[in-house]
Copies of this chain bind each other. A is one copy, B any other.
């Protein structure tokens, strides 16, 4: 009670505050309303379409001549419009046709049961209807658990059950059940007709188009993620470390890398829904390519998982020294650029519904991959031992060199079995401390050789290995895109198209890739 009175007091005292708060809440709501519409203008159009359809269908009731013809059952047309008119044409058709089919089948079954029931006496009649309702209810509900029916006809089954029950049960009290069923079907058809008219001919919104564009957007997102990953990995280390700590705290941050692949990872259910609705759309019926979009989505998701792992490499706390990363910067950069370019070309070819010609770019990717592999191969070997006498063996391997060359070709090795606990575990920091760096740098500049522990090489190796993995996955993606071009009957690839597209995009990199790639690498 005290708390409440206290609240009241504060309310009275801070009356101005409350008004202010209400105002800001109002502003916030207005901004939210504006934002929802701005994100996708089709939402506003759809809302207006629903309003107009409802007004139209209400005329059946409101206008005297129309009402005289149809009567009370006009209410079913209103109901149909509310339930059937969905955002996209595909969804409307899915619901409309399911509703129509469900109603028709239910009507037929109800009529059949009615025929049998009418043969019997009154009391048995009720029992018969009760049993039929139970059986049909149980069987229909069980059918909804079949994955194929669940996926394609769930709404139709519900409507079947609904209509069957409405007709069967009311037939017990009403004699003219056939007339009612007929009228109801008639008005439902009017309702469906208005919905189809609205969704097919007035600013139609196609699920197929949505699926198509979302697939294109996925490619662009993935390309951006890879670009951002590579840039961050080879950018200045100090900045990275700061950014990293912020990023780690919340995975959901607006990190460009995360933003790029996020939409891909969680696309499964939305892809499947869009493909289901798209498969009902007449405009695309002949193509039957929607399942291919879903397949492509699956492959893209797997591609995305590899980028997540690549992103993980940036966030790991054991770091490969910047000096080592720089050695492989050019080939890694080039490979990433080629992969990105391929992704953009794939996205372009899908966007323009043009068949993708896999030969040219994939050669470049594999050239870049070979460059990276060459770079990795050009590095001398790694020596691994199975026992802990490494120090001795190492001494055997390195000391004579130093004695012989006298030039200190190799930097001095700190004790390899250094077990300083502060340097172990996840809180492992840069292995190459500041002091070491000072010794290392002049040596590097003279002879260009650096040594590093296997542990330090690990993150870079993972990074490089994931890049290689990305190329392997890219091949699978290209395969699916080519298959998509074939199944969806995209127009043939022609070299002119590409040039035109490229000049439209103001992207000179596709034409003269080597000079620009060199420039970017520098």
Contact = CB atoms under 8 A, between A and B. Distances in A.
Given A82-B158, A376-B458, A424-B373, A312 B416 contact: no
Interface string A285-309: 0000000000000110110011011
A52 interface: yes
| Number of copies of this chain that the complex holds | 2
B51 A134 contact: yes
Given A61-B172, A369-B426, A449 B385 contact: yes
A82 B162 CA distance: 6
Interface centre among A54, A370, A376, A404 (most CB of B within 10 A): A54
Interface string A365-401: 0100110011011111111111111100110111011
Interface stretch (A14-22, A42-50, A202-210, A216-224): A42-50
A380 to B, nearest CB: 5
A376 B378 CA distance: 22
A466 to B, nearest CB: 7
A413 interface: yes
A464 interface: yes
Interface residues of A, number: 137
Interface stretch (A135-143, A227-235, A276-284, A506-514): A135-143
A466 B315 CA distance: 12
Contacts of A161: 82
Interface string A438-465: 0000001001111111110111011011
Contacts of A61: 169-170, 172-173
Contacts of A459: 465
- Majority-rule SS of A interface residues: helix
A176 interface: no
Interface in A172-201: 172-173
A360 to B, nearest CB: 17
Contact of A62 (B47, B129, B409): B129
A130 to B, nearest CB: 5
A179 to B, nearest CB: 16
B377 A142 contact: no
Interface in A462-482: 462, 464-466, 468-469, 471-473, 475
Contact of A79 (B131, B162, B172, B316): B162
B452 A382 contact: yes
Nearest to A59: B130
A274 interface: no
A64 B345 CA distance: 72
Contact of A46 (B135, B141, B265, B366): B141
Contacts of A48: 138
Nearest to A414: B381
A377 B455 contact: yes
Contacts of A315: 472
Interface string A409-439: 1100100111100001110100000000000
Interface of A: 32-33, 36-37, 40, 43-44, 46-48, 50-55, 58-59, 61-63, 67, 72, 74-75, 78-79, 82-83, 126, 129-131, 133-135, 137-139, 141-142, 145-146, 158, 161-162, 165-166, 169-170, 172-173, 251, 265-266, 268-269, 298-299, 301-302, 305-306, 308-309, 312-313, 315-318, 324, 327, 366, 369-370, 373-374, 376-390, 393-394, 396-398, 400-401, 404-405, 409-410, 413, 416-419, 424-426, 428, 444, 447-455, 457-459, 461-462, 464-466, 468-469, 471-473, 475
| 7 closest residue pairs by CB, A with B | A461-B461, A309-B309, A51-B138, A462-B465, A386-B448, A400-B400, A269-B269
Given A47-B139, A324-B384, A379-B454, 17 more contacts: A40-B145, A47-B142, A54-B134, A265-B305, A268-B269, A309-B312, A377-B417, A379-B453, A380-B394, A381-B416, A382-B454, A396-B401, A396-B404, A400-B401, A400-B404, A426-B468, A462-B466
7 contacts: A47-B141, A58-B130, A309-B466, A374-B424, A383-B450, A401-B401, A458-B461
